[in-house]
């Protein structure tokens, strides 16, 4: 056979192998985490671990509910703050702002996205935490150190803002001009066109942007860990401290390994995070497919 053709075949096959290898890594992680979590799962039923709210490794009780709820609270707060802001900002950038402003702001977004999370954490400790305890909490009559799920949510919102805005801007730019023209030519104002046509048409893409934001928020560790207090309790309000899953792993891994089942519990935390993110992505992918088929 011709050497060129052999080379072509070889390249094709080696690339395919590399692809499979990268997929295998995911499986290896999943299997590894599962094996390491087995001791805990053997000692306690899964249902109990997930719904038990007491975390006291010394006494052998490993309730993960506080951490799950901590993650949920922080993510939820960050979305409440970031999603409306991102939608409005990207609509402004695409529909109202001039070319010059757009060209200036979008690269700036990328810079924001590239700032290391620990810097956001420092910013949170220096500004967000004191601001919450001194100015915001008194308004609603709450007393707090400022190290709360609220602070975590705010820091996280700022962190997912750039990625969500960049994607939303791209999504909005794909809406054909003629569709806007169709609405405008019926006498609709620009705002009516945005709300009733553009945002509706862009919905699947906007949801995809939010999903990416959530995935990022789920896994974000260091910045959140620095501001949300890290007390293993189920938060009851914005001004309670929380303890998200990634923070649990990062704070404790490598320490206190002499406590029985502790390392297994941390591995289980990692497995839980993995499954949550994986499941979440899967579900959102399904929803998106459905939405895309519909439109």
How many chain residues interact with another protein (CB under 8 A)? 21
Residue whose pair of structure tokens reads 């023209």 in the numeric block: 181
Residue 100 touching another protein (CB under 8 A): no
Q: Which is nearer to another protein, 7 or 196 (CB)?
A: 196
Q: Contacting another protein (CB under 8 A), which of 80, 200, 256, 257?
A: 200
Residue 187 touching another protein (CB under 8 A): yes
Residue 192 touching another protein (CB under 8 A): yes
Residue whose pair of structure tokens reads 């719904």 in the numeric block: 51
Residue 4 touching another protein (CB under 8 A): no
Strand partners, 56: 61
Q: How far is 98 from 135, CA to CA, in rounded Å?
A: 36
112: CB partners within 8 A, 6+ apart:
161, 162
Residues from 147 through 186 that contact another protein (CB under 8 A): 176-179, 181-186
- 56 within 8 A of 132, measured Cβ to Cβ: no
Shortest reach from residue 188's CB to another protein, in Å: 5
Shortest reach from residue 281's CB to another protein, in Å: 25
Q: Which is nearer to another protein, 139 or 186 (CB)?
A: 186
Q: Which is nearer to another protein, 143 or 178 (CB)?
A: 178
Strand partners, 242: 229
Shortest reach from residue 175's CB to another protein, in Å: 10
Q: Which is nearer to another protein, 142 or 188 (CB)?
A: 188
Residue 286 touching another protein (CB under 8 A): no
Residue 104 touching another protein (CB under 8 A): no
Shortest reach from residue 157's CB to another protein, in Å: 29
- Degrees (nearest 5) of the Cα angle 281, 283, 284? 65
What does each C-alpha distance from 138 to 48, 134, 207, 231 come to in angstroms? Answer: 38, 7, 35, 22
Strand partners, 61: 56
DSSP tally for the chain: helices H, then strands E: 14, 2
Q: How far is 287 from 218, CA to CA, in rounded Å?
A: 19
Kindly list the residues in this chain that would bind another protein in the complex (CB under 8 A): 99, 176-179, 181-189, 192, 196-197, 200-201, 294-295
């Amino acid at each position: 056979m011709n050497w060129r053709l052999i080379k072509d075949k070889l390249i094709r096959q080696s690339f395919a192998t590399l692809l499979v290898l990268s997929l295998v890594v995911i499986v290896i992680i999943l299997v590894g985490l599962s094996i390491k979590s087995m001791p805990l799962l053997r000692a306690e039923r899964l249902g109990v671990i997930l719904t038990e709210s007491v975390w006291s490794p010394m006494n052998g009780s490993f309730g993960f509910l506080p951490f799950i709820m901590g993650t949920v609270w922080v993510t939820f707060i960050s979305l409440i703050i970031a999603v409306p802001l991102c939608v409005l900002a990207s609509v402004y950038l695409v529909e109202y702002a001039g070319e010059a402003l757009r060209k200036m702001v979008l690269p700036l977004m990328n810079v924001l996205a590239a700032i290391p999370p620990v810097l956001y954490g420092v910013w949170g400790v220096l500004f967000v935490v004191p601001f919450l305890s001194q100015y915001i909490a008194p308004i609603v009559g709450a007393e707090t150190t400022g190290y709360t799920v609220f602070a975590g949510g705010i820091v996280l919102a700022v962190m997912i803002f750039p990625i969500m805005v960049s994607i939303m801007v791209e999504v909005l730019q794909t809406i054909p001009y003629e569709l806007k023209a169709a609405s405008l030519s019926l006498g609709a104002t620009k705002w009516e066109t945005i709300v009733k046509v553009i945002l509706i048409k862009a919905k699947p893409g906007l949801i995809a942007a939010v999903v990416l934001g959530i995935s990022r928020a789920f896994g974000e560790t260091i910045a959140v860990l620095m501001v949300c207090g890290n007390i293993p309790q189920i938060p009851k309000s914005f001004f309670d401290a929380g303890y998200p899953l990634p923070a649990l792993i990062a704070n404790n891994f490598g320490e206190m390994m002499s406590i029985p089942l502790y390392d297994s519990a941390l591995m289980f935390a990692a497995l839980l995070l993995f499954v949550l993110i994986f499941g979440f992505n899967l579900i959102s992918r399904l929803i998106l497919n459905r939405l895309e088929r519909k439109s």
